[in-house]
Structure 1
Amino acid sequence: MVENTLMTLFLIDCVVMIACVMMQPAKNDNDSMSALTGGSGDLFSRRKARGFEAVMQIVTVIVGIIFFVLALALVYVSSH
């Protein structure tokens, strides 16, 4: 019973995590090859996330923590 509940919560968390990652805006405005061609001069010029981007980052971190806690709980419950 507990294992089924944890598995259901785990699957819901997985779907929410995928949605959160897909909803995040792109981090770079540069060419995707800029890291290979030496164009990564924005190492120290990163801007702080604001608004929707900041909320999505926080939600993604929280959902990721829940993911790992549920994964560890599932391992513990299934082994006992």
Structure 2
Amino acid sequence: MYNLLLTLLLIDCVLIIIAVLMQPSKTNDAMSALTGGADDLFAKQKPRGFEAFMQKVTLVLGILFFALALGLAWLSSH
């Protein structure tokens, strides 16, 4: 059981890395990186399409990572 959870955790780690790298960039130019994006403070829009999907995938993978890590910690202590 421990080996199964560890394998699932490693697969989840790789999938989280891929999901984060596939998310579209939010900075448009170097100036917005220097100012911290203060000009976009009031221009927030809900993500649509691929960006919204990738945010949901990342959230689900993060929750799965947390659950698997807790399961592994509990299993190793018993």
Answer yes or no: is 1:9 the counterpart of 2:4. no
Q: Percent identity?
A: 53
Give the structure with the higher percent helix: 2
TM-score normalised by the chain length of structure 1: 0.88
- Written as runs of structure 1 = structure 2, the 5 A alignment for 1:39-58 is 40-58=38-56
Find the counterpart in structure 2 of residue 34 from structure 1: 35
- In structure 1, C-alpha distance between the alignment counterparts of 2:72 and 2:24, rounded to whole Å: 32
| Structure 2 gap segments, 5+ residues each | none
Misfit runs of 4+, over 6 Å? none
| Structure 1 gap segments, 5+ residues each | none
Find the counterpart in structure 1 of residue 69 from structure 2: 71
TM-score normalised by the chain length of structure 2: 0.90
How far did 1:44 drift?
A: 2.2
- Residue-pair matches, total: 76
